[in-house]
Amino acid sequence: MANIVITGSTKGIGYGLAREFALLGHKVMISGSSDTSVDNALTNLQEAGVVAGHTANVREAAQVQALWDAAETKFGSVDIWINNAGLARTVWSIVDTPSDEIQSMVTTNMLGTINGCQIAAKGMLNRGEGKIFNMLGGGSDGEMFPGMGVYGSTKRGLDYFTNALIKELKDRPLIIAKIRPGMIITEGVVREARADFDNFQKSRKIMNNLVDTVDTVSPWLAKEILATTKSGRKIRWLNGGKIAGRMLMSKIKPRPDQFEAFGL
């Protein structure tokens, strides 16, 4: 059984992964940016298995180090570290994105992941083994979407950063890999859709063919993460073949509306 740390795991796909790992018998340390979010998540996860929590702002290296230290103290070691903490604000063009939102996205997505990789890698190198996974997303392969200029740039940068880390550590006993979870309906997606509902409605039909829920994707991702034994792997839920297949099937039999259950 592995000891696993997941940043940004009080909600969304991070929470879903924490739950799946715990149900599989692994020990999980969840983390969020507020005591309230961590406490609420722990309450909801208490029956899933062995789950502990620690509050940490990933933008601050000292707090990320404290998260690592807390996991080591609680579990004795850290086998898998998942940099999942991220922030998406997708209702503005690049020109219109407020400066504070740009600051939040860049520091959370980029700096937060760099902090996590540096601290986890140092700790794992001292131990002699470990796995680090970085959560990528829309834009990481260079694709462009309306409203995602800043967010997509951070994910594109993370792809470059992860590749660089893979090369730097290629002769060391660590596994560095990427995760592209696809288009998941999370609290953040619902918030963004409501904030720009008219544009959401315009793309709703296409998006409906591509999105999935946390409960659908998390079990598959968790098993793939555990099965990863080679550095440089990209775990990708929504690949080109799946996209093409869904688009083709939608012409034959429309997919049930995935957004209705979320009040959209």
pLDDT digits (tens, 9 = 90+) for 81-108: 999 999 999 889 999 999 999 999 999 9
Query: Hey, CA dihedral for 185, 186, 192, 194, is it positive or negative?
Result: positive
Cα separation, 134 vs 132, in Å, equals: 7
Cα separation, 82 vs 3, in Å, equals: 11
Query: With contact defined as beta carbons under 8 Å apart, do 82 and 17 qualify?
Result: yes
Whole-Å CA distances, 149 to 40, 49, 102, 152: 32, 39, 10, 5
**Mean pLDDT in the chain?**
96
Whole-Å CA distances, 176 to 86, 180, 231: 18, 14, 5
Query: With contact defined as beta carbons under 8 Å apart, do 49 and 23 qualify?
Result: yes
Question: Can you give the pLDDT at residue 115?
Answer: 98
Question: Can you give the pLDDT at residue 144?
Answer: 86
What is the per-residue pLDDT across 202-218, written as a single tens digit (0 to 9) for each? 999 999 999 999 999 99
Lay out the sheet containing 51-55: strands in order across: 51-55, 27-32, 3-6, 80-83, 130-135, 174-180, 234-236
Question: Can you give the pLDDT at residue 23?
Answer: 98
Radius of gyration of the chain (CA): 18
Question: Can you give the pLDDT at residue 6?
Answer: 98
What is the per-residue pLDDT across 166-188, written as a single tens digit (0 to 9) for each? 999 999 999 999 999 999 999 98
* Residues above pLDDT 90, as percent of the chain: 91
Tokens linked to 185: 């309906």
Burial of 22 (0-12, 13-18, 19+ CB in 10 A): buried
Catalytic-role residue among 151, 153, 192, 212: 151
Residue 260 has pLDDT above 90, yes or no: yes
Averaged pLDDT for residues 26-30: 98
Partnered with residue 81 across adjacent β-strands are: 5, 132
Averaged pLDDT for residues 103-125: 98
Q: In three state form, how does the secondary structure of 193-259 look?
A: HHHCHHHHHHHHHHHHHHEEEHHHHHHHHHHHHHHCCCCCCEEECCCHHHHHHHHHHHHHCCCCCCC
Question: Can you give the pLDDT at residue 261?
Answer: 93
151 is catalytic: yes
Averaged pLDDT for residues 223-252: 95
pTM of the entire predicted model? 0.95
* Locus of tokens 């996991």: 71
Question: Can you give the pLDDT at residue 141?
Answer: 87
Averaged pLDDT for residues 221-228: 98
